[in-house]
Amino acid sequence: MSFRDRLYERARRAHRSIVLPEGDDARVREAAQRLTAKGLGVVELLGDVGRDPRATDCAGLLRARHPDKFADDAAARAALRHPLVFGAALVGLGRADVMVGGACYPSGDTIRAALWGVGAAPGIATVSGAFYMVRDDAVLTFTDCAVVPDPTPEQLADSAIAAARDRRRIVGDEPVVAFLSYSTKGSASGPRVERLRRALEILAARRPPPDFPFDGELQGDAALVADVARRKAPGSAVAGHANVLVFPDLDSGNIGYKLVQRLGGWEAIGPILQGLARPVADLSRGASADDIVDTAAVAILQADAS
């Protein structure tokens, strides 16, 4: 089976509930029909959230989680008028397993709703965004390609941990993590190389949970090509075998995935938000119904081991 076939089959077996907050959008309604037809989950389309009887419980959740932002019910209910906030709160309450939103709103709205409604996963302080790059049977995880423009060493470590955790859930194999740079193992120097080295130190100090091989700094060819790895990074357990690529900043991550997609012919599934306590998935405002279905299937597998 193809990666998508395996993804769908595992999502079917999970039997999860999916909330789609933007029920007025034609693409979202079409995606809901396809998700149901494919048996990928129990789908709820949100309509007029102002009249939803669950608003009281959702308001209580927001007030309990963020008393500094929501001092009273009126403030919480005002926030819940945004459908993404309402959908994320339903996930936070356990009334849905997964939320998929952002077809009509910018990513900042989705991330804000996720942080208000479900919060970050234990041990993770930074939400990041990955793309799953697929060609034939090959699947690579690219992170962070969607959220943090200029990550600190701590944020790079968070991104690596979140990507590794999700790769096990979504792809089903063992993550091998490479921190990418213009330098391989001291071939160059400078503040940006030092930042990556500090990220590696932080990641090493956080064991467990980073129970996966990781290494850096590595150039892209050293991370992916065994012959190059033997010359540039002999003895590395990661070089030449990486399947999770941690980009040093959002410029390189975003440019990298789009070049691989457009020039290399790889399919890009994402962005997939990582590092949340429960799955809240972000969509591009240009997303098609098929994109929404794929993103929902990935988010279902994020829930499968939550």
**pLDDT exceeds 90 at position 207:** no
Give the list of residues 6+ apart from residue 286 with CB closer than 8 angstroms, or none. Answer: none
Say yes or no: 141 and 162 in one domain: yes
Residues 99 and 182 in one domain: no
Question: Tokens representing 58?
Answer: 């959702």
Give yes or no: residues 96 and 208 share one domain: no
| Banded model confidence at residue 286, pLDDT cuts 50, 70, 90 | confident
Q: What integer pLDDT is reported at residue 51 of this predicted model?
A: 87
Distance CA 136, CA 38 (A): 22
d(CA 170, CA 161) in angstroms, rounded, equals: 14
In sequence order, what are the beta bridge partners of 170?
none
Average pLDDT, rounded, for the chain: 93
**Pair (212, 108) in one structural domain:** no
Instruction: Show the domain range for 7.
Output: 1-119+276-306
> Could you give the CA distance from residue 215 to residue 233 in angstroms, rounded to a whole number?
10
Q: How confident is the model at residue 48 (pLDDT cuts 50, 70, 90)?
A: confident
Mean per-residue pLDDT, 104-132:
94
- Do both 196 and 171 map to the same domain? yes
SS3 178: strand
Q: Are 227 and 237 in a shared domain?
A: yes
Half-sphere exposure of 289 (CA within 13 A, CB side): 13
Do 292 and 182 lie in one domain? The reply is no
CATH number of 33's domain: 3.40.50.10950
Which of 285, 305, 281 has its CA nearest to residue 35? 281
Q: How many domains does the chain have?
A: 2
**CATH number assigned to the domain comprising residue 147:** 3.40.50.10750
pTM: 0.89
Residue with tokens 């240009």: 286
Mean pLDDT of 44-49: 86
CB-based contact 248:128 (threshold 8 Å)? no
Same domain, 263 and 171: yes
End-to-end CA distance of the chain: 26
Same domain assignment for residues 31 and 83: yes
Give yes or no: residues 11 and 41 share one domain: yes
* CA-wise closest residue to 270 among 131, 142, 151, 150: 131
What confidence score (pLDDT) does residue 306 get? Answer: 42
Which of helix, strand or coil describes residue 35? helix
Predicted confidence (pLDDT) at residue 110 exceeds the cutoff of 80: yes
Instruction: Please tell me the predicted confidence (pLDDT) of residue 305.
Output: 52
CA distance 303 to 96: 10
